[in-house]
């Protein structure tokens, strides 16, 4: 009887008393934590992002992985890197990707009757057809499979990486503008009999740093790559503004959950991006590498003007969306993400007693429990691209302890003073690593 009731709820289009929303999931690439106005930025104008964020809930402690592919894997599956084996970047043509046994978000939402589309960077494997988006639950695909493509030629090296429905596309134009335009087309041509899941993972603002001159004209005070980056962020913000306008024109905005995050912290902080007071940046397990600039917006459902500081993780969106959409949560692979809807709407505490983020190499991780954070194996790596006191690669086994309530910038290592807390968090880390799967990169035959 319970199973029948769940099926009927799904058919009726409700879950937990909430009408099933359209879902627009926007992912920026390599965006600094403090570069948007809503998160403290003052140098770069992001009016469309700011309007959405302030009309919803700003997530101040939203965690992701240190680099691109691992975050996308966690987001799409609701599972941590220790389960998926995606600890590092999936390189172009590499003989591996997110395992085919993993059920991704598009498959889950498709089973609940959603129309599904991805407009943007996939980055979870493409060496065989089965790893590509249209074979993984997306009705429609547009954009690049890889990362770091040229924004104008759409090339990565000698290969043109631009596709429509996983077939080569010769569309010309600036990548950010093309992705925004396609997202608007998907919205305007949405089927009337199905809700929409639109995944919009921009390749902006990742290198190479390229942007039409018109976007940088308003930043004469900025210099060099920082100025170009500002223009790239402005271009992405404008594209998002057009997506919102398309939702409004279609009469969908009140029925749409908009989620925004960056896939990792900003690289080269202080030169290219700004992570504010957070330490370090992309590629590290310090806060500047794994705390994402993020918000969630649903007019009339999520109270505007909120700032939520509870620790949450990208993997949480999978079970949360399953609940909201009436999709079947049961699957053969266990989930690590938790339903965060009560946190967003009822002021509840984080459902996570402990969160762990794995680094890109063996023995490097961060464990957060309450306000306490244990860093394992980073070895004092100060910021991406620079050598710390233990060397660029850090020192495996070195433990650092920080209290993020008192020290969000991770300036004071308390490991020597709070040995009992180190041991407590270390035990949690070891328990979580006990059944960790090996890197998919190794399984694919590449050197770890």
Residues marked as catalytic: 68, 123
Q: Are 74 and 101 in contact (CB under 8 A)?
A: no
Q: Is the dihedral of CA 71, 33, 201, 216 positive or negative?
A: negative
Give the residue from 223, 249, 263, 246 showing the smallest Cα distance to 25. Answer: 263
Question: CA–CA separation, 22 vs 32, rounded Å?
Answer: 28
Residue 7: partners with Cβ closer than 8 Å, 6 or more residues away: none
Closest CA to 70 of 441, 318, 447: 441
């Amino acid at each position: 009887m319970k199973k029948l009731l769940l099926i009927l709820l799904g058919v009726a289009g409700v879950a937990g008393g909430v009408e099933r929303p359209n879902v627009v999931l926007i992912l920026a690439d390599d965006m600094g934590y403090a570069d948007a106005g809503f998160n403290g930025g003052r140098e770069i104008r992001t009016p469309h992002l700011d309007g959405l964020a302030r009309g919803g809930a700003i997530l101040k402690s939203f965690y992701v992985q240190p680099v691109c592919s691992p975050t996308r894997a966690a987001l799409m599956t609701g599972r941590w890197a220790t389960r998926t084996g995606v600890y590092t970047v999936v390189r172009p043509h590499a003989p591996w990707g997110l395992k085919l046994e993993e059920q991704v978000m598009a498959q889950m939402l498709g089973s609940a009757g959603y129309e599904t589309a991805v407009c943007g960077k996939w980055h979870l494997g493409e060496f065989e057809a089965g790893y590509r988006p249209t074979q993984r639950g997306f009705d429609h695909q547009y954009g690049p499979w890889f990362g770091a493509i040229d924004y104008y030629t759409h090339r990565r090296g000698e290969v043109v990486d631009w596709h429509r429905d996983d077939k080569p596309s010769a569309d010309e134009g600036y990548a950010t503008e093309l992705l925004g335009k396609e997202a608007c087309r998907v919205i305007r041509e949405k089927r009337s009999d199905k809700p929409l899941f639109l995944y919009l993972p921009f390749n902006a603002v990742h290198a190479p740093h390229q942007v039409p001159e018109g976007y940088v004209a308003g930043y004469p005070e900025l210099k060099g790559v920082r100025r170009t980056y500002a223009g790239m962020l402005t271009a992405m913000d404008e594209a998002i503004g057009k997506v919102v306008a398309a939702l409004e024109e279609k009469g969908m905005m009140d029925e749409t959950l908009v989620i925004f995050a960056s896939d990792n912290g900003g690289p080269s902080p202080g030169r290219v991006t700004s992570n504010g007071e957070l330490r370090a940046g992309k590629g590290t397990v310090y806060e500047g590498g794994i705390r994402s600039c993020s918000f969630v917006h649903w007019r009339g459902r999520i109270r505007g003007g909120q700032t939520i500081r509870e620790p949450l993780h990208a993997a949480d969106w999978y079970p949360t969306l399953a609940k909201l959409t009436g999709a079947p949560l049961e699957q053969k692979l266990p989930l690590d993400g938790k339903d965060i809807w009560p946190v967003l709407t009822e002021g509840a505490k984080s459902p996570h007693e402990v969160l762990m983020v794995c680094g890109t190499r063996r023995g490097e991780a961060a464990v957060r429990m309450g306000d306490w954070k244990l860093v394992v194996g980073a070895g004092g790596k100060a910021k991406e691209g620079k050598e710390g006191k233990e060397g660029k690669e850090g020192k495996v086994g070195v433990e650092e302890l920080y209290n993020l309530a008192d020290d969000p910038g991770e300036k004071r290592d308390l490991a020597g003073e709070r040995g009992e807390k180190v041991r407590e968090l270390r035990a949690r880390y070891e328990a979580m690593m006990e059944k960790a799967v090996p890197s998919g990169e190794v399984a694919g035959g590449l050197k770890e």
